Amino acid sequence: MRHITAKAAETERIGEIAAQALADIHSAIYGQPPQATRAWTDGDAILLVMRLAPEAAAQRAQPPLASMQRMVGAAVERRTGESLRAASTSVDPERGLVVLAFERVRARSDEQDPGRLPAGPVRGAG
């Protein structure tokens, strides 16, 4: 039995948003949605798999993976405020499959928020 923690559920939600962003980007580039997009998550890792539309796959042209990966990262950050670090990419033109890997970048909890002032005892207040 697998228990989903709040952090794991949050990464899964981010993966779903990233998969939708990838589908939107494909639609913008090729003029139609892909056949399918899926996201798998494990810890902070997010793996996106996309099956290209038949017309795009038939062209057997190399999709602009690096650009697509940057756009997915930007879309996720804009929609969620979370940053993704781009990892590897892969394409199988014969099968029409594209794989993009990301790592969720978590803010370190020991860093102080620059917008907050340290609280302490108030002197001379009474």
Note the pLDDT of residue 124. Answer: 59
For residue 54, the model assigns a pLDDT of 74
CA pair distance 75, 51, nearest whole angstrom: 20
Nearest alpha-carbon partner for 51 in 37, 41, 30, 65: 37
**Predicted TM-score of the model (pTM):** 0.76
pLDDT for the residue 122 = 53
**Strand, coil or helix: 45:** strand
Helix (H, G, I), strand (E, B) or coil at 67: helix
User: 84: which 2 tokens?
Assistant: 């993704």
Reported confidence tier of residue 58, pLDDT bands at 50, 70, 90 = low
> What 3-state DSSP class applies to 39?
strand
